[in-house]
């Protein structure tokens, strides 16, 4: 098949298409679609089917397979053209997914520390939330460490953790051009702030979350965040954690009235499984003992220094 000069010309045309696209990572389905489009514009030799041409693309080294390992049965293949970013690879694992949590915070330049794990969220189907909150139920749920997703795909020591997040109809998902020119989909700033408050372990813990909120201060729309949180309809009172983070970051209390009006009806927790905590009476929230508090915040609310 390689010796047929017509196939060589078709391969050149295919390579031109790859070179003109910002996309660098391809699934077998992506590859099949490209070949079908090529076939529609250029006649293939009678002896060359689309399947055979796909094999030629791989055998010629035009596209190279990406070596992947996984903690679960994952047999799908991925191919790359030229250099590619791990973020683009992560998005290719599950069609319709988007980057979230600590990964989104990094891409929004809200932390200087590039996460060791890339978090990519593929939403669950819509479900009805059930159950009534009780203080005993909250205490029980947050007494142990947060569960972590066991679905991890690894490439060259980069871990990609697949999350099955709450259905939101992709609320707050935006497009961004990555540092290598790749097209990425990720949560916007306010949705990212919500997500890392709900699952701080996916951002490096509450200390990192607090710092992200501080760095996001001049860019955060509290109104947008509050409405988005209402749309997400969480059962647990995450508005108390988010309100604490926002106030601790420097947002004036009058700007947080929308969150206060939701109601402060329970004691809540910034993190799961914190063994030593201090209590913030304004948001009725238990904070990890080593979470730093700003001097102005401590002075204004006459709170003790950590350790007192």
pLDDT in tens, 49-91: 999 999 999 999 999 999 999 999 888 899 999 999 999 999 9
Q: Are residues 45 and 179 in the same domain?
A: no
Whether 76 is covered by a domain: the verdict is no
Are residues 108 and 189 in contact, defined by beta-carbon separation less than 8 angstroms? Answer: yes
Q: Are residues 179 and 231 in the same domain?
A: yes
- At 214-264, the pLDDT tens digits run 999 999 999 999 999 999 999 999 999 999 999 999 999 999 999 999 999
Q: How many domains does the chain have?
A: 2
3-class SS at 228?
A: helix
User: Cβ contacts of residue 154 below 8 Å, gap of 6+?
Assistant: 68, 69, 70, 160
Whether 80 is covered by a domain: the verdict is no
How many CB atoms sit inside 10 A of residue 141's CB? 12
Are residues 306 and 292 in contact, defined by beta-carbon separation less than 8 angstroms? Answer: yes
Whether 11 is covered by a domain: the verdict is yes
Q: Are residues 105 and 54 in the same domain?
A: no
Pairing of strands 79-80, 117-121: unpaired
pTM for the whole structure: 0.90
Whether 171 is covered by a domain: the verdict is yes
CB-side neighbour CA atoms (13 Å) of 255? 17
Which tokens hold the place of 209? Answer: 């979350």
What is the residue range of 236's domain?
85-301
Whether 290 is covered by a domain: the verdict is yes
């Amino acid at each position: 098949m390689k010796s047929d000069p017509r196939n060589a010309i078709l391969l050149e045309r295919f390579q031109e298409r790859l070179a003109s696209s910002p996309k660098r990572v391809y699934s077998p389905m992506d590859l099949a679609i490209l070949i079908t489009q090529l076939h529609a514009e250029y006649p293939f030799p009678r002896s060359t089917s689309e399947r055979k041409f796909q094999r030629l693309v791989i055998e010629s080294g035009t596209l190279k397979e990406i070596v992947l390992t996984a903690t679960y049965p994952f047999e799908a293949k991925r191919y790359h053209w030229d250099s590619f970013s791990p973020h683009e690879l992560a998005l290719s694992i599950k069609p319709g997914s988007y980057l979230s949590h600590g990964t989104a915070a990094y891409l929004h330049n809200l932390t200087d520390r590039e996460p060791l794990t890339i978090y990519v969220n593929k939403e669950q189907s819509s479900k009805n939330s059930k159950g009534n909150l009780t203080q005993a139920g909250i205490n029980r749920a947050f007494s142990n460490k947060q569960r972590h997703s066991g679905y991890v795909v690894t490439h060259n020591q980069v871990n990609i953790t697949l999350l099955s997040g709450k259905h939101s109809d992709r609320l707050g998902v935006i497009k961004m051009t990555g540092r290598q020119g790749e097209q990425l989909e990720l949560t916007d700033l306010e949705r990212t702030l919500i997500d890392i408050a709900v699952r701080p372990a996916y951002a490096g813990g509450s200390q990192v979350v607090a710092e992200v909120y501080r760095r996001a201060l001049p860019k955060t729309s509290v109104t947008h965040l509050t409405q988005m949180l209402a749309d997400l309809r969480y059962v647990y009172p995450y508005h108390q954690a988010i309100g604490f983070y926002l106030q601790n970051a420097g947002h004036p209390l009058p700007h947080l009235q929308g969150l206060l009006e939701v109601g402060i009806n329970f004691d809540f927790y910034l993190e799961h499984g914190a063994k030593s905590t201090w209590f913030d009476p304004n948001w009725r929230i238990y904070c990890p003992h080593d979470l730093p508090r700003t001097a102005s915040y401590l002075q204004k609310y006459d709170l003790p220094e950590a350790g007192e």
